[in-house]
Homo-oligomer: A and B are copies of this chain.
Amino acid sequence: MSRSASAQIERRQELLRAAASVFAQRGYERAKVAEIAATANVATGTFYLYFPSKEACFLDLVAQLYEIVLQRVTAARQGQADVLRKLKASITAVLETFEDERDLAAVVLLQGSGSLPQMAERLRSVEDNLAQLLAQDLKEAADTGLIARGDASLRAHLVIGAMREALLYRLRQPAQDGSQDETVRAFLLHALG
């Protein structure tokens, strides 16, 4: 008799959680499938009922973060009156999302590009998506004279890079209040002139 579909999904999530934790700690190559399975309290073979390979699981993890981030950024922008507020909201949403998803964030920020070529590609696409969103804002803001003119795409990436570093800076220090966010936001908004 088959388990209910929801039980299936739950176990998959459990494995993803376990994978995020193990990948975050050990890095992609040094993470063993057996350990992920053990962390999820299932047998090694069970892992392969839910993922075709270790690599696919890893890639799924990023896809997950991808969705969460874009979704939360999009939601945060809804109902923001002007571009500047949208920009601020976007930045805050990214910072908060990574704060909420520490393991996932560690995987993406630390292992990120170094692991698999495909991973690097996918990460880049997440970043590019985000960058495009920001770039549009920047362009619009620049057009309105709100911020200085300049290569929008590059500047969007610089914003992301600074955020990335802010997140890593935090990751290194055990859980923390968000008191630094203000500094980061100020830094970034100034940066854009």
Contact = CB atoms under 8 A, between A and B. Distances in A.
Given A158-B184, A165-B162, A27 B190 contact: no
How many copies of the shown chain assemble into the complex? Answer: 4
Tell me whether chain A's interface is mostly helix, strand or loop, or mixed: helix
Contact of A150 (B109, B172, B183): B183
Contact of A161 (B113, B164, B186, B190): B164
Nearest to A106: B113
A165 B172 contact: no
A104 interface: no
B112 A148 contact: no
Contact of A163 (B109, B161, B188): B161
Nearest to A107: B114
A164 to B, nearest CB: 6
B161 A166 contact: yes
A48 interface: no
A92 interface: no
Contact of A166 (B154, B172, B191): B154
Given A110-B120, A154-B184, A160-B165, 9 more contacts: A27-B114, A109-B113, A110-B112, A151-B183, A154-B180, A158-B187, A159-B162, A162-B162, A191-B191
Interface of A: 27-30, 109-115, 120, 124, 148, 150-151, 154-155, 157-166, 168-169, 172, 180, 183-184, 186-188, 190-193
28 contacts: A27-B115, A29-B29, A29-B30, A109-B113, A110-B113, A110-B120, A111-B113, A112-B114, A148-B190, A150-B186, A150-B187, A151-B183, A154-B166, A154-B180, A154-B184, A157-B169, A158-B162, A160-B165, A161-B161, A161-B163, A161-B164, A161-B166, A161-B168, A162-B165, A187-B191, A190-B191, A190-B192, A191-B191
